[in-house]
Structure 1
């Protein structure tokens, strides 16, 4: 439950810094940050800086974990006062310098805006760069962790993440599991580490008639449909999912799987689907806006998310809001969302366990109406909770 803000608190100026926002070539990227910043902008004076690494156009230097491509300074997103900028980088090679490059690019921009506090999402390099900039301008800084920026860190990344957390005025996490990980692994100070779970757009993600959604999407009215929504990358467990689906599909000729999203693994997945004789059974409609995602979820019988690592997976919340059960891996904060009333949890990287859970979930008589009413948290709630931490940090005068 969000806490109410005292009426006498003044209107804050907040500089939001993030490397993750929806872009034309990847419209699902960073939707939760977009929604948080947009809702926060209704409660405070917020400007968002979109930090993008600028890689040289040379063969073999493209990033391996996300679709590369930058937007220009004139890029706009609904509800945001946005400033998109780039900084020079080399995949892997400039890891140690990226935070400093971000700080240099941010400093004149944030000085002109003159905020009360800097709020950076993604711990390293962007949180480090924002923190360094804030210190140079004598401003307090809050950093927010989203998932793999805490759970999938090693070597230099882990060292710089620890340094960022230790120097920030507050740390925001999206699940209690992530909060505990930050405290135990990175030495985060408990009373400066706050869990603020994500919300969802209640106007988009809600139950809809399954038959109508299938007709709209051109899907057969019969048979069962599994849906995955997210980036097409190995760490989302997609090879395990295709393997598990192949075993189930052999016994059920009317079972289908939809992989909604895009990513660097797209062509590899298509080749795997062909080699396993699953063409026509595995659909790849691409990445889409939230309204399209909701239609695919409501057309499905259940959603699956077999990730190796998660923070607080929004798509799981969105599926439950649509009244759909979930089969997901027991990682990060997923167990804070999924229980026996709305889904099943399995260990990561285990195709056999995933296949068994999917089979069980498909035959279980779920109460979709009860599932859909279990979660009610809006992005306004997230913004209120986030603003409360901002006020606390500003009132304390930073560290």
Structure 2
């Protein structure tokens, strides 16, 4: 158990943690750990960060971002065999056991945090359950939406829930899905991701556009995220084309992010004859994303499924309405602030375009939105995690 003087050795094990090559990977997990340390300076953190690989084993030649150096992350390959997907937690357990040998001799974990259920938490619990310390797993979204439909992975996840202290779900929807499969409801706690209300805040749209060299006239819609099938960006482009056709003023769509679908999205934009109005900006850090939100008129999300994505809270905190497909736990944070006005229930381009035209014509008060976001500040989120990690839930 944690020492009586308040100091605690916290071990974080996950495949979702950033490095210099993928600074966006698991960024919310790194932000969470930093927030916990700010709330509890006595937290002594060590991070074991894994990368799945079919061929490579042992230490991975990756380096932490400068801002994460104080968390002392070490990177390792974790064996992953696609055709044995339901058994990969056992391979992850093997990699975790080997990685433990790299920890300092005087570091004895007094609590364990594992963001991502399968294979991460399922593998770690096979080694760490016997330690007798609080162990908290984090369900982030796809690890519940997708894996509970796969029999072998579902069995591994349910077995893991029996050997763990607590499971954090980043939406109430995820909590209900786990409980429906038989997870002990006393162990499952919804803790929404935090938002940096000091970085993501309302500011002069004109000044932001000047800084980013965005024309002052017209409207700007913004997407932030990975270019992956789950994000449903084909729907966004189709709806945006309708907005362009219906709008009497210039409208632009800025896409921050990257991923395997970029080429297909560029081709779709060309087919829809909106290439000159769709801007692929690449990946950006938090401060630059915040500046783009201040320059934009609304933020778009057209996902097939989600937990509660950070971008939704960041948009609200920036005073910009998020226009979202009504999936996963998104409504849990949007509806109390904006009602169902910008929650699109059907995957129809015309319905999503109508919501975009509505927000451009009638934007909500940005001060009201930012004030609502204060309830999701990282400081509050970190305190909830610390309570669970100290076994006080």
Give the TM-score taking structure 2 as reference length: 0.89
**More RCO (CA 8 Å, sep 6+):** 1
Alpha carbons 1:324, 1:371 under 8 Å: kept: yes
Show the counterpart of 2:383.
384
Alpha carbons 2:134, 2:390 under 8 Å: kept: no
Deviates more, 1:224-233 or 1:357-366: 357-366
Is 1:373 the counterpart of 2:371? The answer is yes
Is 1:326 the counterpart of 2:322? The answer is yes
Distance 1:348 1:51, change over 3 A: farther
After superposition, give the CA deviation of every residue in 1:40-63 in whole Å (9 maximum; x if it has no partner): 234221211111012459xxxxxx
Q: CA deviation at 1:26?
A: 4.1
Question: Aligned equivalents of 1:366 and 1:280: distance in 2?
Answer: 28
Question: Aligned equivalents of 1:24 and 1:274: distance in 2?
Answer: 33
Q: Given the alignment, which residue of 127, 135, 140 partners 1:133?
A: 127
Alpha carbons 1:37, 1:48 under 8 Å: kept: no
Alpha carbons 2:242, 2:350 under 8 Å: kept: no
> What's the secondary structure of 1:49's corresponding residue?
strand
Q: CA deviation at 1:71?
A: 6.2
Show the counterpart of 1:160.
156
> What's the secondary structure of 1:95's corresponding residue?
helix
Q: Which has the higher helix share?
A: 2
Alpha carbons 1:237, 1:349 under 8 Å: kept: no
Show the counterpart of 1:61.
none
Show the counterpart of 2:183.
188
After superposition, give the CA deviation of every residue in 1:302-356 in whole Å (9 maximum; x if it has no partner): 0011111111111110011111111112122211211375461012533222112
Q: CA deviation at 1:25?
A: 4.7
Q: Given the alignment, which residue of 98, 118, 124 partners 1:124?
A: 118
Q: CA deviation at 1:140?
A: 4.3
Show the counterpart of 1:95.
85
Deviates more, 1:46-55 or 1:224-233: 46-55
Show the counterpart of 1:355.
353
Distance 1:365 1:264, change over 3 A: closer
Distance 1:25 1:267, change over 3 A: farther
Alpha carbons 1:166, 1:187 under 8 Å: kept: no
RMSD: 2.4
Distance 1:52 1:250, change over 3 A: same
Question: Aligned equivalents of 2:359 and 2:369: distance in 1?
Answer: 14
> What's the secondary structure of 1:96's corresponding residue?
helix
Show the counterpart of 1:63.
none
Q: CA deviation at 1:212?
A: 1.2
1:270-309 mapped onto 2 (5 Å cutoff): 270-309=266-305
Is 1:47 the counterpart of 2:46? The answer is yes
Q: CA deviation at 1:260?
A: 0.9
Show structure 2 runs of 5+ residues with no match.
Answer: none
Distance 1:216 1:94, change over 3 A: farther
Q: CA deviation at 1:94?
A: 3.8
Deviates more, 1:76-85 or 1:133-142: 133-142
Distance 1:77 1:107, change over 3 A: farther
1:29-40 mapped onto 2 (5 Å cutoff): 29-40=25-36
After superposition, give the CA deviation of every residue in 1:134-185 in whole Å (9 maximum; x if it has no partner): 035555422110111112222233332222223322111112222122111x
* Residues paired across the two proteins, number: 375
